[in-house]
Structure 1
């Protein structure tokens, strides 16, 4: 008998909703607060775990797309429930050039606030959020946990945001 995997207890944030603020460890001695990133789009990538094959492929793809994300004015942060020490070792080994934030203690608190914590497994969903410069969710996607969602959806959402901003400018 197959036991279904757990889903988040609260609904996943959707476009138009404000993103909950948070402060998480980026390194053992450095924190990042989401509200301090306001003024530019932010891409938040929740992922299940450091050192897993799909996560490695996904984060590697995001790393390869950093120049394009920055061209579109966006900052990228990734979040899992692994410790800041694990993130530091993982980012160094994988040569990642964006912050990996630790939702370690209380475990999964930020992921829960976004509706993407899998309590039964104790990990985050594989979820993507694109926020505008005011911290409003403009695009959200939860991928099956075993599937790398790629960057096309993120890039499309950022391009659409940039196009609508240009159209709003007189």
Structure 2
């Protein structure tokens, strides 16, 4: 079961693209959009992540930062980013699914389900959307921007 709205978002520290380590606490005092997605190079993910990247300026203008997390390695993330033509937010490697489990979005198949969690400036979950059927239920970026604007 996914993390509940109002709950404190579990902190984490993971290796990420750009040769960096990223933690939830890095974004303290600012809303954060966390995209969880199943796999690099997969068809739906290869649309969703670029959609968020194309609207990153709008999300930042609304007051939030964006990160994305799945179980793939940083090496996979870097190769996928290159194939996509670049991604301007960090992709984090949750290789043992510890963060995905903490947020309730790890699947028995050993991957992360598609989900979006928005953490408010105080570190609490303000919004959580877990997708049951990606083809019919992929969260539009406009909805994310609307939620973020409502936090300010």
| Alignment partner, residue 77 of structure 2 | 87
> What are structure 2's unaligned runs of at least 5 residues?
none
Question: What's 1:16 paired with?
Answer: 6
Greater shift, 63-72 or 21-30, is seen at 21-30
Please say if residues 37 and 115 of structure 2, whose CA atoms lie closer than 8 Å, have aligned partners that are also in contact: yes
RMSD: 1.3
Aligned position for 1:4: none
1:65-109 superposed Cα distances (whole Å, 9 cap, x missing partner): 1010010111000000000100011112212111000001xx111
Note the alpha carbon deviations across 1:9-36, whole angstroms, 9 max, x for none. Answer: xx21121111000000113842111112
1:144 alignment partner, SS class: coil
Contact residue 28 and residue 123 of structure 2 kept, 8 A = yes
Matches within 5 A, 1:19-34: 19-27=9-17, 29-34=19-24
Whole-angstrom CA distance in 1 between matches of 2:17 and 2:141: 25
Match for residue 91 of structure 2 among 100, 107, 127:
100
Task: Name the residue aligned to 1:113.
Answer: 102
Deviation at 1:149, TM superposition (A): 2.0
Task: Show CA shifts across 1:130-169 (max 9, x none).
Answer: 111111110110012533322132112111112xxxxxxx
| Other structure's SS at 1:87 match | helix
TM-score normalised by L of structure 1: 0.83
Q: How many residues align?
A: 149
TM-score of the pair, normalised by structure 2: 0.93
| Cα contact 1:69–1:75 (8 A) shared by 2 | yes
1:33-112 matches, cutoff 5 A: 33-94=23-84, 95-104=86-95, 107-112=96-101
Residue number in structure 1 paired with 2:131:
143
**Residues 27 and 61 of structure 1: is their aligned pair in 2 closer, same or farther, counting only changes over 3 Å?**
closer
